[in-house]
């Protein structure tokens, strides 16, 4: 079968060639969407990553397509109606980096709580060894609110216990056996926001989680609380956190994902192609404002990015591909 891989790195190319020696593989370091279609379009299978977007236009351009093997857990970048209409299978990577993302969540939290980036910049950029302005706070005894107690959320809770934090959680489907085992308490979302010193998000992007944190509930946050998002950008309404940071409701924010993230990455191209609407433009501006704000850490969708996690992603992807033969 002919397989098109998009958004691939050099080491991944060699790894996939070794895993799929009997197939015709075509590699493209760029993403695929309706405005970025490949010259070759006779693929039986395409494998995509976070920046690609598969809609009806893309599917129409790939007449032989039978399977989309996304190297992600989320599938919100693939149009389910379009794939169903063509009877195209979609396979994802359900688990690959629960510990990886959980570790990164705490890396972001410790960076904010101890002002590590500021301390490094102070020494490197200013040559100053003064501790003025970089006082932090301990995690010991703080209340951590975990939104979503799936695989990643569970690992976050386990790590939090090592810091002797109190953990409360919100989940649409509470698991009381799990809460007993890991020694945390389920509460409703409003209670979690009002009570937590730190709130960390670990839910998938669904219609029900769109803007889960928004202008209507941002005021519930405990004054000066920290918000961390390593899940999906659109779970948080960008305007809400900009305002909450400006008025002191939030004391800090660490984001590994942003609302309209792809538009931000490819803003120049989208502007030239006149693909941005007013909402896209507003969100891009808000994201730029966030980047420049005090007590904000933004990383480029990097929580998954360990060699071990990436290898697990490729192994599951090759299994998904081989399963359709």
Q: Tens of pLDDT along 283-303?
A: 778 888 888 898 999 999 999
Task: Report the range of poorest mean pLDDT among 237-241, 249-253, 289-293.
Answer: 289-293
Query: What average pLDDT does the structure give for the chain?
Result: 93
Q: Region 112-137: what's the mean pLDDT?
A: 93
* 56 and 143 housed in the same domain: no
Which candidate in 23, 155, 202, 301 is catalytic?
301
Q: What's 10's domain CATH number? A: 3.40.50.720
| pLDDT computed for residue 160 by the predictor | 98
| pLDDT computed for residue 266 by the predictor | 59
* 132 and 252 housed in the same domain: yes
Position 273 confidence tier, pLDDT thresholds 50, 70, 90: low
**Active site annotation includes 40:** no
Which candidate in 12, 260, 261, 286 is catalytic?
261
Which candidate in 232, 237, 259, 286 is catalytic?
232
pLDDT at residue 323 greater than cutoff 80? yes
Structure tokens at 27: 């590699």
Our count of domains for the chain comes to 2
Print the domain residue range for 79: 2-96+307-322
* 143 and 78 housed in the same domain: no
Convert the pLDDT of each residue in 62-112 to its tens digit.
999 999 999 998 898 999 999 999 999 999 999 898 999 999 999 999 999
**Higher-scoring residue by pLDDT: 249, 279:** 249
* 20 and 124 housed in the same domain: no
* 150 and 292 housed in the same domain: yes
Q: Given the structure tokens 């493209």, which residue do they identify? A: 28
* 225 and 271 housed in the same domain: yes
* 11 and 102 housed in the same domain: no
Q: How many CB atoms lie within 10 A of CB 144?
A: 28
* 64 and 176 housed in the same domain: no
**62 CB contacts (<8 Å, ≥6 apart)?**
41, 42, 43, 46
* 10 and 62 housed in the same domain: yes
**Active site annotation includes 301:** yes
Measured at the CA of 115, the angle between CA 126 and CA 98, to 5 degrees, comes to: 130
Convert the pLDDT of each residue in 129-177 to its tens digit.
999 999 999 999 999 999 999 999 999 999 999 999 999 999 999 999 9
* 76 and 25 housed in the same domain: yes
* 262 and 202 housed in the same domain: yes
* 318 and 261 housed in the same domain: no
């Amino acid at each position: 079968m002919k397989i098109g891989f998009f958004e691939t790195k050099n080491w991944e190319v060699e790894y996939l060639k070794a895993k799929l020696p009997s197939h015709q593989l075509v590699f493209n370091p760029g993403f695929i969407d309706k405005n970025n279609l490949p010259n070759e379009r006779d693929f039986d299978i395409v494998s995509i990553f976070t920046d690609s977007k598969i809609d009806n236009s893309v599917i129409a351009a790939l007449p032989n397509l039978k399977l989309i093997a996304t190297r992600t857990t989320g599938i919100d970048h693939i149009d389910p109606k379009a794939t169903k209409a063509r009877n195209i299978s979609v396979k994802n990577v359900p688990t690959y980096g629960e510990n990886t993302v959980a570790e990164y969540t705490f890396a972001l939290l410790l960076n904010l709580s101890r002002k590590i980036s500021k301390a490094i910049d102070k020494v490197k950029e200013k040559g100053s060894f003064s501790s003025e302005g970089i006082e932090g706070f301990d995690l010991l005894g703080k209340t951590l609110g975990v939104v979503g107690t799936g695989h990643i959320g569970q690992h976050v809770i386990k790590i939090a216990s090592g810091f002797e934090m109190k953990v409360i959680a919100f989940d649409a489907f509470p698991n009381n056996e799990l809460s007993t085992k890991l020694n945390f308490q389920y509460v409703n979302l409003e209670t979690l926001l009002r009570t937590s010193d730190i709130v960390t998000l670990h839910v998938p992007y669904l219609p029900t989680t769109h803007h889960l944190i928004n202008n209507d509930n941002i005021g519930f946050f405990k004054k000066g609380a920290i918000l961390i998002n390593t899940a999906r950008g659109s779970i948080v309404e960008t305007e809400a956190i900009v305002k909450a940071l400006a008025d002191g409701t939030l004391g800090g924010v660490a984001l590994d994902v942003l609302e309209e993230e792809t538009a931000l990455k490819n803003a120049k191209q989208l502007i030239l192609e006149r693909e941005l609407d007013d909402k896209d433009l507003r969100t891009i501006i808000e994201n730029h404002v966030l980047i420049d704000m005090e007590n904000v850490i933004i990383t480029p969708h990097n929580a998954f990015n360990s060699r071990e996690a990436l290898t697990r992603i490729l192994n599951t992807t090759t299994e998904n591909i081989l399963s359709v033969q």
